Amino acid sequence: MIYLKTDDEIELLRQSNLLVGKTLAEVAKLVKPGITTRQLDRIAEEFIRDHGGVPTFKGFKSPYGPPFPSAICASVNDEVVHGIPNDIPLKDGDIVSIDCGTLLNGFCGDSAYTFCVGEVEPEVMKLLKVTKEALYVGIEKAVHGKRVGDIGCAIQDYCESHSYGVVRELVGHGIGKEMHEDPPVPNYGRRGNGPLLKKGMCIAIEPMICQGARQIYMADDGWTIRTRDGKPAAHFEHTIAVGMDKADILSSFEFIEQVLGDKAI
């Protein structure tokens, strides 16, 4: 069941998503060699709760393992998504995707950004840049009258034109009072296929893109998704509301990029 949101509900979604953006900015202040992802997780959870929100990832149930133990997913290098924060220090040249979800005033926020740790190799930086660009290429298609397949096709074409692998087993999703609602939003597809997009639909679009082949596997912890070839992957995500002429981006990278300055992707 796809639920269309009212203007008032979209504004509540925006507030929750802006909290995610501000939380990711707090994380951005601390991403550097020597920090651990568990330390980043503590900062994120404290910030969310101090601002009246609840971290929706913490305690989220999986059919494959125990409930997720943390407020953020922190996925390093070849970890695509759903990395569990740990005590391993980040090192110069790493990349780390931070995915964060909140519940505020009854509505969910969800956004992700992939950060550089120190100085990153140019070919890895290019992967991050193309993945972020692909997110906005997909968002351009999120307008009334188009279809979900138009979003996925745009992202797939853009990333495959750079010879990157597009993960197929994991997709974006509808969002509202629940973190995951219909419809699924793949990062691949065919133009004109899939559910019809209508004004008031709210979805999370999140390209998960591999530098090498698209094949992935789940680690023994029942959560962490890694590339089979061990090459790095990037992940960027926005929550948007479908509009008549263009999408309304409810989450924000602005706070992150204020922190990163000229080091923003």
The tens digit of pLDDT for each residue in 223-236 reads 999 999 999 999 99
Span 193-203, average pLDDT: 98
Closest by Cα among 108, 185, 115, 192 to 147:
192
Statement: residue 65 has pLDDT above 90: no
Statement: residue 64 has pLDDT above 90: no
Closest by Cα among 250, 243, 206 to 15:
250
Strands (E), 105-163: 107-116
Residue 85, Cα to own-chain centre: how many angstroms?
A: 16
Using the CB atoms, write b or e for 94-119: b if 16+ within 10 Å: bbbbbbbbbbbeebbbbbbbbbbbee
The DSSP call for residue 35 is: -
Q: What is the pLDDT of residue 63?
A: 80
Q: What is the pLDDT of residue 62?
A: 82
Span 105-111, average pLDDT: 98
Domain definitions of the chain by residue range: 7-263
| 7-263: CATH, from 3.90.230.10, 3.90.1150.10, 2.30.140.10, 3.40.50.1820 | 3.90.230.10
Q: Can you read off the two tokens belonging to residue 29? A: 């202040």
Q: What is the pLDDT of residue 74?
A: 98
Span 100-118, average pLDDT: 98
d(CA 148, CA 141) in angstroms, rounded, equals: 8
Q: Can you read off the two tokens belonging to residue 214? A: 């698209």
Statement: residue 105 has pLDDT above 80: yes
